[in-house]
Amino acid sequence: MKIYNGKSIYKGIAIGKIKYMKKTEPDTSRHEISDIKSEMKRYDVARKKAILQLKKIYRDAISEIGEDAAAIFDVQSMMLEDDDYNESVQSMIEENKDNAEFAVFNTGEIISSTFAEMDDDYMKARAYDIKDVSLRVVNILCGNDSESILDDEPVILAIDELTPAETVQMDKSKLLSFVTKYGSSNSHTAILARTINIPAVTGVIIDQAWNGKMAIVNGETGEIIIEPDEKTMNKMLKKRKKIEEEFEILQKLKGMPNRTKSGKEINLYANIGGVEDVEKVLENDANGIGLFRSEFLYLGRNDYPTEEQQFVAYKNVVRKMKGKKVIIRTLDIGADKKADYFNLEKEDNPAMGFRAIRICLACPKLFKTQLRAIYRASAYGTISIMYPMIISLQEVQKVKEISAEVRSELNLDNIPYGDVEQGIMIETPAAVIMSDELACEVDFFSIGTNDLTQYTLAMDRQNCRLESMFDTHHPAILRQIKTTIDNAHKHNCWVGICGELAADLSLTKTFIDMGIDELSVSPSSVLPVRQKIREAE
């Protein structure tokens, strides 16, 4: 038995086998193979695995983006069944003795350039898909894809670094926990661990030799125990049972109001990243969704989601929420949330760079596509829109102008939409300082304590070396929360907190005393926060 110490980014105890994953650039260079039969088999196994992955992505995508848009994954899996494609790869292996990676990659390139030259827009667009599907097979051949690593029993994933885009694409039902070398408790990957409710630890030097070994991840202490002895295993099983018992007690709070002993009601909402998280929101009895991080719809894909694809996703969320409030935050891409097709330039300080509302205001077409999709979905439930990274009155006025244009265009097209509240995130010190004026412009504020802490303390929230100094309870943060609430209330604007601090049970009473109207937390934190609210005077 060996114990390693890291920093817990989410609580709980996971017991299972470790899957070690090393990320490398896929190697598509040529080398001559000697065993044609086994190379053909390698190709066939990888191809079949890719087909299975695509079929699953297709099924999942139907509820996320609708049947029409999801069909592309079905088309991609059919490409791998195509005779011409397979004959090309097989003949390169058989006749030229090419390795499978080279054969697949080059087949993709050749067929894709043929498609690109066709005089047919549909076929031209498939050029990209054939390249994409070939890259999927190459990655499987290199043992380099996060999806295929999670293809059998649930595992503890050990990996140096996990990006939000990679996490989004994983089959979370196969993930017991993750352990990373890099990361911080305020990164979006950590936030995802909280949303899916699995223990996670960071800051650990990962050893390839752990692969396949039995391990325990103790999210309470940050310990990773490799090959635990019987005594430790029994102790951890007991601990896990205790956590399960506490969980059972919390279940009794379902259906209960979020009301303090003196009768103050707080709205208790949940944060989500996509349609698939709504089940957890309902399961944990949140009263609404206080933050839908819509940028996750843009991650892990090859191109911008269309208006229709977004409309289907938003509509599915509001429909499932059956009239309860859903606050959709407009695109907050940039910093750690990256998608290649945005072609964003590399920046020295991405957290303080071209991101979020700055991108949306610079690219009105992109912004309007999203706003149109949100407004259209508002006809099916209760939607509020919230804008991230605001620093000035002018930005809010511009954003309101654009959303008014979108509504006029919908009116002209006779497309219905609901009554949509408009709010902003207060996550920059500038917004806090301007909050008295900003409050006159919007219906609500939601305080993003993750970014507010990073910008106030001048500390990168992603930097694990600063973790111990990243003081979310710093008086400068608490005072800014109080200032924001007071300024908002002077102008009839309600205020919530949707950053991770909203779930900090040691501050629930403080927030209530400050006058907070709403708290939005990861689904698994809803019932613990409800308990705290109900215990407060």
Q: Which residues are catalytic?
A: 188, 498
- Distance between CA 325 and CA 443 in Å, rounded? 14
Q: How many CB atoms lie within 10 A of CB 59?
A: 12
Residue 449: contacted member of Mg ion, ligand PEP, none (CB under 5 to 8 Å, by partner type): ligand PEP
Binds 499: which of ligand PEP, Mg ion, none (CB < 5-8 Å by kind): ligand PEP
CB of 477 to ligand PEP, least distance (A): 11
CA angle 153, 154, 156 (to 5 degrees): 130
Q: How far is the CB of 299 from ligand PEP (least distance, A)?
A: 12
When CB distances are held under 5 to 8 angstroms depending on the partner's kind, the choice from ligand PEP, Mg ion, none that residue 395 binds is: none
Residue 185's binding partner among ligand PEP, Mg ion, none (Cβ under 5 to 8 angstroms by kind) is none
Q: What is the DSSP letter of 388?
A: -
62, 266, 285, 385 from 263: Cα distances, Å: 43, 10, 20, 29
Please identify, using beta-carbon distances, which residue of 451 and 504 lies nearer to Mg ion. Answer: 451
Q: Let me know: does 481 contact 487? Beta carbons within 8 Å.
A: no
Nearer to ligand PEP, 147 or 332 (CB): 332
| Residue 299 partner contact from Mg ion, ligand PEP, none using kind-dependent CB cut-offs of 5 to 8 Å | none
Q: From the CB of residue 209, how many other CB atoms can be counted at a distance below 10 Å?
A: 10
Nearer to ligand PEP, 427 or 518 (CB): 427
Token pair of 26 as six digits: 């896929």
Q: How far is the CB of 260 from ligand PEP (least distance, A)?
A: 24
Distance from first CA to last CA of the chain, Å, rounded? 47
Least distance between Mg ion and beta carbon 151 (Å)? 33
Min CB(385)–ligand PEP separation in Å: 15
> Under the rule (CB under 6 A), what is the footprint of ligand PEP?
291, 293, 332, 427, 448-451, 498-499
Nearer to ligand PEP, 236 or 452 (CB): 452
Q: From Mg ion, ligand PEP, none, which one binds at residue 98 (CB under 5 to 8 Å depending on kind)?
A: none
Give the residue with the Cβ less far from Mg ion, 129 or 500: 500
- Smallest distance from the beta carbon of 499 to ligand PEP, in angstroms? 3
Nearer to ligand PEP, 76 or 446 (CB): 446
In the list Mg ion, ligand PEP, none, the entry touching 258 (Cβ below 5 to 8 angstroms by class) is none
387 DSSP β-pair partners: 424
Query: How far from the centroid of its chain's Cα atoms is residue 248's Cα?
Result: 27
* Phi-psi group of 423: left, alpha or beta (phi > 0 → left; psi -120 to 50 → alpha; rest → beta): beta
Chain contacts with Mg ion (rule: CB under 5 A): 427, 448, 451
Question: What letter does residue 305 receive in the DSSP assignment?
Answer: P
Q: Which helix (H) or strand (E) holds 446?
A: strand 444-447
Task: Name the pairing type of β-strands 382-387 and 444-447.
Answer: unpaired
Q: Which residue is nearest to Mg ion (CB)?
A: 451
Choose between 90 and 450: whose C-beta lies nearer to ligand PEP.
Answer: 450
Question: What CA–CA distance (Å, rounded) separates 320 from 409?
Answer: 27
Residue 405 token pair: 């244009």
> What is residue 19's DSSP assignment?
E
CB of 472 to ligand PEP, least distance (A): 10
Distance of CA 139 to the CA centre of its chain: 22
Collapsing DSSP states into helix, strand and coil, what is residue 392?
A: coil
Measured CA to CA, the distance from residue 115 to residue 189 in angstroms comes to 37
Q: In terms of Cα–Cα distance, which of 451, 426, 424 is closest to 335?
A: 451
